[in-house]
Amino acid sequence: MAGLRHVLESEIASGKTIGLVPTMGALHEGHASLLKKARGEVDVVVASIYANPTQFNNQDDLAKYPKTESDDLLLLKREQTDVAFFPQTAGIYHGLSTMPINYGVLTETLEGAHRSGHFDGMSTIVRRLFELVAPHRAYFGEKDWQQLAIINRMSSSEDLGVKIIGCEILREPSGLALSSRNIHLSSQEKKAALTISKSVFDIKHRLTRKSLHDTELEITHELKRAGLEPDYVKIVNANTLEALQSETNLGQARLLIAAYSGKTRLLDNGPV
């Protein structure tokens, strides 16, 4: 940790800008797209790789989380990352406990309702990384839309001193959103999972035919018919994640889906 501070302080002292890309490892081209964006915008790109235990409400999920450290290092090198930061729990949590974060609906709905404590763990570690790295810019994927919305809220309500950059979802040619968890999908489960991305792509068209509620139900049924187990299918205000009261505000809306394909929980979302 002291080494990291030393390296970065000398870079900052010489007027260089720092960009941070926080990840949990098992890196793929989605992560690479964040690193590329950072590479184009700042002088020093720092990637952190840390599967934060307090973000996992299920310890089996943490144990199962893929670890591919040597491949991760190759990808970081390929993307010309300057600093790879692998925090250890004892060090990063030293003198720190998980701080509850409550932005009402924004933190309580969707992932907040299904993964108790997840956003408390996420926001605690993001703040800590910001403190340690002191980046000018930090890059987060739209893939985790609720996480990005919460970080944007944190950034506007606390003075984090970091510009938050949201990055588009990178997908396989099939449409499936890239995720470290895809590695667990059988070919059958992967095929079924395409129903999720298809629903994201079709949403505008569906809403020309049906109400918000019926559209959510229709997608839920289609996911089930494909063999998936949906946790939620919701069309919400993109910034507050509040339920939409009517079809009049669709310009600000976003479809968010979480569903299991086999034992793998997948997330996807897109504009309405």
What the block records as the tokens of 84 is 């790879």
Q: Does 48 bind ligand AMP (CB under 6 A)?
A: no
Q: Does 184 bind ligand AMP (CB under 6 A)?
A: no
Residues 16, 17, 18, 19, CA torsion sign: negative
Q: Do β-strands 83-85 and 137-141 pair in parallel, antiparallel, or remain unpaired?
A: unpaired
As a whole number of angstroms, the longest Cα–Cα distance in the chain is 59
Q: How far apart are CA 32 and CA 82, in angstroms?
A: 14
Answer yes or no: 114 catalytic: no
Q: Does 180 bind ligand AMP (CB under 6 A)?
A: yes
Residue 16 three-state SS: coil
Q: Does 241 bind ligand AMP (CB under 6 A)?
A: no
DSSP H or E segment with residue 46 = strand 44-49
Q: Does 135 bind ligand AMP (CB under 6 A)?
A: no
Give the nearer residue to ligand AMP in terms of CB position, either 178 or 253: 178
Give the nearer residue to ligand AMP in terms of CB position, either 142 or 231: 142
Q: How many Å from the N-terminal Cα to the C-terminal Cα in the chain?
A: 43
Q: Which of residues 6-45 bind ligand AMP (CB under 6 A)?
A: 23-24, 30-31, 33-34
Q: Does 141 bind ligand AMP (CB under 6 A)?
A: yes
Q: Does 140 bind ligand AMP (CB under 6 A)?
A: yes
CB of 196 to ligand AMP, least distance (A): 13
The residue count for binding ligand AMP (CB under 6 A) is: 17
Q: Does 179 bind ligand AMP (CB under 6 A)?
A: yes
With CB under 6 A as the contact rule, the residue among 37, 143, 153, 198 that binds ligand AMP is 143
Residue 238 three-state SS: coil
What the block records as the tokens of 55 is 């973000």
What is the DSSP code (8-state) at residue 117? Answer: T
Q: How far apart are CA 55 and CA 144, in angstroms?
A: 13
Give the nearer residue to ligand AMP in terms of CB position, either 211 or 239: 239
Would you tell me which residues interact with ligand AMP (CB under 6 A)? Answer: 23-24, 30-31, 33-34, 140-141, 143-144, 167, 169-170, 177-180
Catalytic site residues? 31
